[in-house]
Amino acid sequence: MDKLIIQGGAQLNGEIRISGAKNAALPILCAGLLAETPLRLSNVPHLRDVNTTLLLLAHLGMQVSVDESMNVALDASNIHNPVAPYEMVKTMRASILVLGPLLARFGKARVSLPGGCAIGSRPVNLHIKGLQAMGAEIHIEHGYIEAKANRLKGARIFMDMVTVTGTENLMMAATLAEGTTVLENAAREPEVVDLAECLIKMGARIEGAGTDVITIHGVEHLHGCDYAVVSDRIETGTYLVAVAMAGGKVRLKNARADLLEAVIDKLREAGAKVEYDDNSITIESDGKLKAVSLRTAPHPAFPTDMQAQFMALNTVADGVAQVTETIFENRFMHVQELRRLGADIEVDGHTALVKGRPGLDGAIVMATDLRASAGLVLAGLVARGETVVERIYHIDRGYERIEEKLAAVGARIKRVG
Ligand code: EPU
């Protein structure tokens, strides 16, 4: 099993190109199911979760072609098997994103219920309830969501929690429904907006994406188009924290500061200098940081997907930080591992109290989920001596060639098999 070996203490200087966003690419790939002519996507990141999605789509009967630059073409004219099997869904919960499109376009779907997850229980009840409100008949049988519908009907749907993939699933389903659907308390994440923009280019009629009320007027058909996936704000944020902690000056290209305001605010509060233009962000830091407290919440507040990285930052900052996780009930798995590097962290319910220390000491640690792993890599960049991060298949789900991108700006990091 691959691991990363990091010698801490190197400053980071140079440029990193940010990839397309995983969490935008996954729903947009699934949106390919809705189109009657081929959908052509660019800026698709080369990640394990993208490969899993492409395998799932191929399993459904999608014709998938991918060139060496990860331009993806999807042709849904021969979908013959609307089934997302357990073996695929269990490796990636985002597989649930085929449910809405399959049901809307083909009138039936059989999708395995996702099982447990390292960061929380993560139910999909709101996806199911919303589709039922649109007239779908859904029941759970042998661990599978069995769904059918003639044509879905527009409905007013209130979601009592903000759910990103739930909003995406229902928005995709509503594009081909009869009449108008209104999604209330919708997620405002940039990935929802990116999906909406792609759907609009495919012929959908959607208003309000990016606000908490999204209105979708159903149409009879959607067609393919050319679409470039938005850049990854979480990958961007992760490298920003890396430079803040390690010190140095790095320019992130293909990066969108407007999607990362809460994170940039916190980095400045910690003492890093951050400047940006439309398409790049430059960060400069001497590595001496102040502790920053934060509370995760749906966009535009501080993203849960950046919590572990800021936890790592706080372990070596000056002062005490309170880090509160409000989205997932079990997203502190990195705390035990950070403690192995010498971090001083106490957890009380949903809040972690992080007392900054002058330094960390390298050790062997284990990745437990995607963002937790990123936090461990960041800690390794500043820890004294050698840090080994094991089980990095988690990192490969969401970071494209993380060791190459970090090594290119001066980090001493390598992957070993
Ligand atoms: N929830 C319900 N019922 C539902 C759906 C969600 O109770 O039907 C709860 C969840 O249990 C959770 C909260 O609502 O407590 C928010 O979950 P959400 O549905 O928004 O999460 P998600 O859509 O499954 C996406 C990202 C995650 C990211 C979260 C929150 C994708 C593919 N995944 O997950 O990304 O953490 O939104 O922003 O978009 C990651 O990239 O590392 C990652 C985990």
* Ligand 1 neighbourhood includes 166 CB (under 6 angstroms): yes
Q: What pLDDT shows up at residue 397?
A: 93
* Ligand 1 neighbourhood includes 359 CB (under 6 angstroms): no
Q: If 0-12 CB within 10 Å is exposed, 13-18 middle and 19+ buried, where does residue 152 land?
A: buried
Contact yes or no for 150/104 (Cβ under 8 A)? no
Residues in CB range of 265: below 8 A, 6 or more apart: none
Per-residue model confidence as pLDDT tens digits over 65-95: 999 999 999 999 999 999 999 999 998 999 9
State the Cα angle at 308 between 304 and 313, rounded to 5°. Answer: 125
CA 259 / ligand 1 centre spacing (Å): 18
**Between the CA of residue 266 and those of 194, 261, 303, 353, what are the distances in Å?**
25, 9, 12, 17
Q: What pLDDT shows up at residue 75?
A: 98
State the Cα angle at 104 between 99 and 107, rounded to 5°. Answer: 90
Nearest CA to ligand 1 atom 10: 122
Best of 327, 331, 332, 373 to mutate for ligand 1, by most ligand atoms within 8 A of CB?
Answer: 327
* Ligand 1 neighbourhood includes 131 CB (under 6 angstroms): no
Percent with pLDDT over 70 in the chain: 99
pTM for this predicted structure: 0.98
* Ligand 1 neighbourhood includes 124 CB (under 6 angstroms): yes
**Between the CA of residue 250 and those of 45, 243, 246, 293, 406, what are the distances in Å?**
21, 7, 11, 24, 11
Per-residue model confidence as pLDDT tens digits over 148-201: 999 999 999 999 999 999 999 999 999 999 999 999 999 999 999 999 999 999
Q: What is the dihedral of CA 383, 387, 393, 396, to 10 degrees?
A: 40
* Ligand 1 neighbourhood includes 122 CB (under 6 angstroms): yes
Q: Smallest Cα–Cα separation from 30: which of 66, 4, 55?
A: 55
Q: Smallest Cα–Cα separation from 381: which of 320, 333, 316, 303?
A: 316
CA 222 / ligand 1 centre spacing (Å): 27
- What is the sign of the dihedral through the CA atoms of 124, 127, 133 and 138? negative
Q: What pLDDT shows up at residue 119?
A: 77
Per-residue model confidence as pLDDT tens digits over 87-128: 999 989 999 999 999 999 999 999 999 866 777 778 899 999
Per-residue model confidence as pLDDT tens digits over 231-258: 999 999 999 999 999 999 999 999 999 9
* Ligand 1 neighbourhood includes 27 CB (under 6 angstroms): no
Across 287-310, average pLDDT: 98
Best of 99, 138, 163, 260 to mutate for ligand 1, by most ligand atoms within 8 A of CB?
Answer: 163
Which pairing describes strands 213-217 and 205-207: parallel, antiparallel, or unpaired? antiparallel
- Residue, of 117 and 357, whose pLDDT is higher: 357
Mean pLDDT of the chain: 96
Q: What pLDDT shows up at residue 116?
A: 64
Nearest CA to ligand 1 atom 28: 305
Q: Which residues are catalytic?
A: 117
Q: What pLDDT shows up at residue 110?
A: 97
